[in-house]
Amino acid sequence: MEDPHARGPAVYTLRWEVELLFRDLKTQLRIEDLPTGNKAVAESLIYAALLALALGRSVHRVLFTSAQKPYWAASSGAKPKKTAGLPTAK
């Protein structure tokens, strides 16, 4: 049987992600200022905002978690001199 206290950090992390989601929807996508009173249009705008947020987070994750090391991050640890702003050939 699994220890019920072992799930605590995972649940807290998930809860924090939900808080950040709503904060982003309010601040970045201005979801609370919908320019319509029409329910169908409001729902469409909410879905568009959710898609935009999901796409933005996916792009951010791809760019910043799988970024390759810069050309100077060699195993020697020494940063080579740049020549005319271009990386040096190895």
pLDDT digits (tens, 9 = 90+) for 47-59: 888 898 889 888 8
Identify the residue with better confidence: 44 or 84: 44
Q: Which among 36, 31, 83 has a CA at the least distance from the CA of 52?
A: 31
Q: Which among 54, 48, 68 has a CA at the least distance from the CA of 21?
A: 54
Give the least confident one: 27-31, 35-39, 50-54. 27-31
**pTM exceeds 0.75 for this model:** no
> Which residue in this structure is represented by tokens 């605590």?
8
Q: Which among 34, 27, 63 has a CA at the least distance from the CA of 48?
A: 34
Write out the two tokens for 8: 């605590």
What are the domain boundaries of the chain? 4-65
DSSP SS3 for 33: coil
Q: How does residue 75 score in pLDDT terms, banded at 50, 70 and 90?
A: low
